[in-house]
Amino acid sequence: MDTGSRLTVRAYHVDHISYGQENEVTVDGTMTIHKETARELGGKEPLIRDIQIRIIRPDEHRQHTNTVMDVIPLSTKVFGRVGEGITHTLTGVYVILTGIDESGRQVCNFGASDGILEDKISWGQAGTPLKSDTLISFDVVLKEHTWADRSGPEAIHRACDRFCQIFREQMKRFSGYKCTEKHVFQETYKPGRKDVVIVKEVSGQGAVYDTRMFGVEPGGFEGGHSVIDMGCMPVIVTPNEFRDGVMHAMD
Tens-of-pLDDT digits for all 251 residues of the chain? 566 789 999 999 999 999 999 999 999 999 999 999 999 999 999 999 999 999 999 999 999 999 898 999 999 999 999 999 999 999 999 999 999 999 888 888 667 888 899 998 999 988 889 999 999 999 999 999 888 788 888 999 999 999 999 999 999 999 999 999 999 999 888 888 877 778 777 776 666 677 888 999 999 999 988 888 888 788 888 999 999 999 888 76
pLDDT at residue 199, as a whole number: 79
Q: Are 229 and 211 a contacting pair, CB within 8 Å? A: no
In order of 149, 225, 245, the CA distances from 230 in angstroms are: 18, 7, 18
**β strands within 108-238, DSSP E:** 115-116, 134-142, 181-189, 211-213, 225-226
Q: What's this model's pTM, rounded to 2 decimal places?
A: 0.92
Q: Are strands 115-116 and 181-189 parallel, antiparallel or unpaired?
A: unpaired
pLDDT at residue 182, as a whole number: 97
* Cα distance between residue 211 and residue 39, in whole Å: 27
Q: Are 52 and 139 a contacting pair, CB within 8 Å? A: yes
* Cα distance between residue 214 and residue 209, in whole Å: 17
pLDDT at residue 2, as a whole number: 61
Please give the single-letter amino acid code of residue 111: G
pLDDT at residue 3, as a whole number: 67
Q: Is the dihedral of CA 33, 37, 38, 41 positive or negative?
A: negative
pLDDT at residue 49, as a whole number: 95
pLDDT at residue 207, as a whole number: 61
228-237: long-range pairs with CB below 8 Å, 24+? 228/150, 228/204, 232/204, 237/213
* Cα distance between residue 246 and residue 37, in whole Å: 27
* Cα distance between residue 59 and residue 53, in whole Å: 18
